[in-house]
Structure formats: C-alpha cells, structure tokens
Structure 1
C-alpha cells in the first residue's frame, strides 16, 4: 500500500471556482471502428470477471458490482466536494488501478451520464483509426523525410489514418498554431482529451488535432512512436506553420523517441509540452498491472519500467535531454508515475542542447495552494498551472515559464476557467477506460519487446 503525502485541507480550495457544467450530458454516440482490443467497459469487466481466475477476476467483479449497484448515482455536486473526495482517495494510498476505479465510483466521481459516455467510447468517431486525410504534404515525408530518419515498420495509410483532424481545423490559417495531442497508456486519444486539451482553442490561438494509436498505446512503444513521428511531419506538411506537440503520460516517451530517431521532426516542432511524462520510467508498473511482474502485462507497460531496456535506450546519447523547446508538468501525487517529486522526478528533462527546458512541479510552483494540491496522473490534464503554461509556451519563444504567470490568480484556482465539473469527472473516469483496455488486451507479454535495430 503506497502512502502519498497530504499537506492541505478542504479550506484551501478557495473561492475562485468554476461552476458545474453539463458539457457531456447531451453528447450523441457516433459509430466507427473500435479503438479498443476488448469492448466497452461493461463487456470487458463482465468477461474478465467470468472467464479469468484469481485476483484479476475478483477486481473486475468488484468494479462491475459497484457499477451495476448504481452506487455512483449521488455524485459530487461541486468542485469543492469533488476535490475533497479525490484528495481523500489518492492521498490515503491506492494499491492499483482497479481499486482506484472502484473508489472513484463509490465516491460519486463517475456519475451515471459520465459513465455512459465513457462506456461507449469505442463507438466514437473521435477515436477512429481510419480517418480520411486526403491532403498531401508539401514535401515527401514517407518512406522518409530525411536520410537521418529511422525506417517505418507501418504503411503510410495506417499512419495517416490514425490522425484525427476536426472539421474546424484551419491548417495554420489565420495565425492558428496546430497542436498535436498525443495520448498516454491505455486510453484512446479522442476520449483522453475530450475533457481537457481538445478545448485549448478556448484559451489560446491553437488548433488541436490528435493521434489515435491502436490498442490505446498498450502495444510496443517503439511502434507507437511511429504514429507520432508521422503525425508531426504530416500536420506540419499540410499546414502553413510548424506544430506544437502536447503529450500525456506515455505520450511523452513516444514523442521523445520520435524526436530522437526521426530527426526531421525536430525542425517541425515549435514546442513540446509533456503532461505527467515518465522520461525516467516508473516504479509503479504494478499499479497498472495488478500482480506484476509475475502476472503477464502489456508491452508498453513493460517498457515503462524504471530499468527497462526501452528507458535505457531512450536516455542514451543525451536522450534524457530535450531536442526542442520543452515544458514538462508533473505532480507529487501522480499515482502511476513515480518518483514525481523534485529533484528526482521522472518527468525531468535536462537541456544539454540549449534548446530551452522548464520542469514544472505544481506543488513547488503553488505550495499549499489549490493549484498545488492533490493532482493525480490524469488530474494534471485539468490543473490550472498546466493550462497556463501551455498558453505561455505558445505565446513566447522557448518553453513555458512560470515567472511570466500571474501566480496569485492561477494558484488560487482548482481548474482552468475553460473547464467545468463534468471535465473533472470525465478525466478521473479515464481510469475506468484504462482498466477495460488493460484487462481486455489480448497479447500479454512476459517481458518487454526487443529494441528495434535502428536504435541499437
């Protein structure tokens, strides 16, 4: 049982609070090819509860029972009560993602309508792997843009089809900066960012697109990185500007690997912003895979271990240093990536190349204040410092810099003004999607994938 420190009370949430909203309540489901290797949440939990033995089966049954018992009906009615519950859950110690999901439902943090939305995530076009992107880039990017680029193992149609471009995307017109959203482990990109940075255009002159990586990024991270590398060169190649890349979780590693081995991408990226990244790996693999390492896990979770060959390879030859202007954002209370406290945070990148890096620990920036409170791995997606530094990075040359922010205002907030209570519910509820994807993943491994020949 892990114990996270807690250093504030409910009174510190302050009075600068956005009210509850209903931005998810009226969303309609749209059919598309499934982004999941399993099925919807209920189907996967039921299958695991009935078909698998031991601890995993019991955990799936517990969550399923909680959902079917409708114990999530009386959800938190305010930002204050939601954050009090989140603080209580994650500061008290959580053993694994299944227990975290069970607690979130029990505390009313995944209300019925949010659960209905999350349960239907495989049917949303925003998670599609078969998007029709017919524009051609202004120069050749496949099979390679540069002789210094690693080879792709995937065909171009597969890589291009994974890029989701909203109909409102302006391709760099009117001064809008394209921003590519890269997902983390076990949650499809469209669902991940629906409750957070897909709305960043409301805070800055940004134009979001995202990369839908198959099997919710649970497969080989080296292959996942191919999708990122291609998306960077494609979106910059069909737009009239370079791009910003914003990642969450494993997406930081996927992007760093792409920048390292597809060198042409470095010239196309204006800013790289990594939320809750694990550049040094994590000691918490068992949080995502109960019973790990004796219980087989998914390839990319193996690769994210602190001492994995993947982490060692990405960090070799100054891979622990930024390739482009980079802003990292992380929290002490990250339940999935640890350590996450200074000076040994997994999120930390150095600046050997002098491109510009800021490493931003929200508890250091906003000590004993709401924005420096108990923000989880997923909670950093709605942290107000995260949002403020994204806007700051885009608005200036180089990385985001907290010294330019109005910290008196930002640190007093619990969520940015562009988000609402439903966005908190939906973001924390991503853990339920992750449980389904991890339990439903078919090709479990007893060790990590071999390092690709181009990286040896």
Structure 2
C-alpha cells in the first residue's frame, strides 16, 4: 500500500487528498474536507521527502495552508469578483498549469477559506445531490432497456444501476419545461460540479428544467461504460416526460455524450440540443501531465482514454464521429489548463457538421474578444461560470438548432466576468472543485498502465 501511494504521487504530481467516503460510512461527527486533506498529507510527507523533494515541499505547503484556512473566517464579503478573477488569471497564466501549485496558490491568496471548505465538503459528501442510488419509479411508455432500437449498442450494466444514477430534483416538472440533463466531467460528481453553476438554470429562466447523472467513480472508470449512463438517461428522461431533452456536459461529459449519440442511435431523435462546455472531443495533449510517460505509467482508465493519441479517441472520431449527430454548441477557452489545444478550428472542442444538423463552435476569446471580460482568462472549470457559456446554452435550447451568437447582445453578455445570476461564492466554489478533483483521482485506486480495450460493438 505504501509503495502504491508513492508511485501514484510521483506519477501524478498531485499530493493533496485522500478519497472522500460516502456519508453513510462516516462517523456521526465526520471530519471536514480540510481535516481529510491534512490527514493524508501528514501520512505521506515522509515518503515524499525521501523520493521527491519538490512534492514534499508542495504537500507540506498545502497541508499547512489548509490547516490555516480551516481557522479563517470567510472573506467572501470583503472580496470582489474582479479581484478574484484577476488572482485566478495570474494563477493559471503559466502553461501547462501544475494543479498542485494552483491549489497551493488558491489557498495562499485566501480564495479557499474555512467556510468555503466546509461548503465544498458538505456537498461533496452529500447523500442526495451526488447520490448514485436514486429511486426513479416512473417507467417510459416505450421500454428503453435492454435497447430502444435494434441498432443500439448493448448495455453492460443492468437497468437499475443505470436508472439509479439519475438525480431528479423535487422541482422537476416532468415535461412542463424543457428537461436539461447535466453530464459531469472527470474527477467530480455531477451534483457538486453543477451546484455552483448550471443546476441553477431553473432559477434563471422559465423554460429549463435541470437534472443530472451521477456517474459512479467520478467518471474515472472506462469512458465507454460512462457513456452507457448518458445513453440510458437520454432515452429514460425523454420517455417519462414525453418530450425531447437538452444535454449539457462539461469536460469528459462531452466525450461520453458524443459516444452515446454515436453508438446508441435511438438517442439522436430524443435530443433537441447538445451543449458541451470545455469538451475534449479530440483528447488532450496535456494528459501526460497527469499520466507521464514513465517506464510503467499508471492512470485511471478514462484519463488514459483521453490522451490525444488514444485508441478511444481514434475510435470516436472514425466514421465522422468528430461531426455532430444533433444540433451542437461547444464552448471553449484558450486558457484551459486541462485540455489542449483549445484555440480555433484545431481546438479539441471543435466539431464538424458533416450531417448538416447545425454546429456552433464558440471560442470565447474570439466571440467576446480578449478585451472584454467574457473573453478573458477562463480555466477548464471556469467555463462553467463564463457568461457566454450560459447565454449560448439558453439561446440554443430556446431556439431550433445550435446557439447563435448573432442573436445575443454580445456587448452586454461579454461585459461581465460571471454569468447573470451567479456571484462570488459560485466563482470560488467552482474553482475550489480542483481540491475535490485531486482527492478523487488520488483515491481511485484501480490504476492501469493501458487504456481499456475498445468494446466489441465499436470495433
């Protein structure tokens, strides 16, 4: 066990936290996220000191700063969005970004203080919004399992497992408003991922009705299996609401959705719009930063699959898989610290339109312009609070076809750093997700030196 953790820390360069256990397995007075971070760093610093002076230094620094931050009062009221944005821009200006350094800097600059750490912890371990054991008794009029159409790929998971991962809020109207299925990215469950951003869509407009899919293992397992949850959710929600749905994804969620649309053709007629935030449809050349090319590299399965040259990415892109299957709007930032390239038509987020269904590839630095706040430095996760992301998502769902920047008042949209309806806590909460991301990837445990084999249906 000791040597496994040593290898993981060296390979990933992310000595931050241990896995967060489900709420039901915790004591009556559970430790907070800050306590978890301090505990795991204390247990590995001796190993790091002997094997990696750099990681030892970073781990010690983060541990000490988390300890201090746990005792600090919230500075949210005394901070401003403008100053927080400027600080975050400085932290992520270096490319490629070292996530260990980034977390350390977030702590150093007072952007992750006691109150925010507790808030992140309460939602990270919440048995509701991140639950994978939800009770959804409604059955679609037309069965969607084991398949909806003969051409659909076979599921490897049972229907109860697939259905239980779908979290439907009490406010859901079952078709009175357009259902919006929120799909998470790698490292973080959907509930906490969207808590500070798109789960608030129902408060932002009367036409949207968000729900989300809590893919087990924080989407760190085989992305082909992750896509099964997406395919099932699309057909299930469309079936019980008797309406077409919108799908909004972040990060790997874009890959999962595109894979589902490709290999479960029945989903295409049920999706009116697909909005992908920071997707890596072409993989990322920065994957080696997480999974370096050492003699015996170790990765989580889905991270290995997201390498730019992986078999998974090649399989997805084959036969026009790099073209949209439904009206699609993608949004991406040049300053993405996880996915690269992310500029222009060579961006990993860029989709073609071979099927003439309608595609909008929105490079925020181009659409808003670097001189505008909405086109400034946005991180991979920061695109969740980018005002253009929100405006184009809503525009896409409210109209036929993808989002169209020409329908927006870009001077107004791009003059803000945050989407309308979000505040400083949402900005800092979203950036604070990096701490949870590091914890989950370190705690995954089922490391692999190779990506999972391509499923038979996709060969």
TM-score normalised by the shorter chain: which range applies? 0.7 to 0.9
Residue segments in structure 2 that go unaligned for 5+ positions in a row: 1-21, 27-31
CA offsets 1:422-450 (integer angstroms, 9 cap, x no match) = 00010000100100001111101111111
Q: Rate the CA distance shift 1:192–1:133 in 2: closer, same or farther, 3 A.
A: same
How many residues align? The count is 421
User: Displacement of 1:104 after TM fit?
Assistant: 1.2
2:144 to 141, 144, 151: 141
Q: TM-score, normalization: structure 1?
A: 0.88
Q: Secondary structure at the match of 1:343?
A: helix
Q: Rate the CA distance shift 1:331–1:350 in 2: closer, same or farther, 3 A.
A: same
2:36 to 43, 54, 69: 43
Residue segments in structure 1 that go unaligned for 5+ positions in a row: 1-29
2:92 to 90, 93, 97: 90
Contact 2:74/2:116 (<8 A) preserved: no
Aligned partner of 1:443 in structure 2 is 446
- Hey, what's the Cα distance between the residues in 2 that align with 1:215 and 1:301? 12
Contact 1:277/1:346 (<8 A) preserved: yes
Contact 1:203/1:391 (<8 A) preserved: no
Aligned partner of 2:81 in structure 1 is 79
Q: Secondary structure at the match of 2:111?
A: coil
1:317 to 303, 316, 319: 319
Aligned partner of 2:397 in structure 1 is 394
Aligned partner of 2:135 in structure 1 is 132
Q: Rate the CA distance shift 1:41–1:328 in 2: closer, same or farther, 3 A.
A: farther
User: Displacement of 1:111 after TM fit?
Assistant: 2.5
For 1:110-259, what aligned pairs fall within 5 Å after superposition? Answer: 110-120=112-122, 121-173=124-176, 176-204=177-205, 205-259=207-261
- Hey, what's the Cα distance between the residues in 1 that align with 2:97 and 2:391? 32
CA offsets 1:336-374 (integer angstroms, 9 cap, x no match) = 000001131000000000000000000001111100000
- Hey, what's the Cα distance between the residues in 2 that align with 1:61 and 1:229? 43
- Hey, what's the Cα distance between the residues in 1 that align with 2:184 and 2:373? 26
Q: Rate the CA distance shift 1:33–1:446 in 2: closer, same or farther, 3 A.
A: same
Contact 1:143/1:151 (<8 A) preserved: yes
Q: Rate the CA distance shift 1:293–1:98 in 2: closer, same or farther, 3 A.
A: farther
Q: TM-score, normalization: structure 2?
A: 0.87
Q: Rate the CA distance shift 1:261–1:49 in 2: closer, same or farther, 3 A.
A: farther
For 1:252-271, what aligned pairs fall within 5 Å after superposition? Answer: 252-271=254-273
- Hey, what's the Cα distance between the residues in 1 that align with 2:285 and 2:38? 26
- Hey, what's the Cα distance between the residues in 2 that align with 1:360 and 1:85? 25
Contact 2:73/2:115 (<8 A) preserved: no
Aligned partner of 2:305 in structure 1 is 303
Q: Which has the higher contact order (CA 8 A, sep 6+)?
A: 1
- Hey, what's the Cα distance between the residues in 1 that align with 2:362 and 2:447? 35
Q: Secondary structure at the match of 1:123?
A: coil
Q: What's the Cα RMSD here?
A: 2.1
User: Displacement of 1:417 after TM fit?
Assistant: 1.6
Contact 2:288/2:307 (<8 A) preserved: no
Q: Rate the CA distance shift 1:424–1:293 in 2: closer, same or farther, 3 A.
A: farther
User: Displacement of 1:332 after TM fit?
Assistant: 0.4
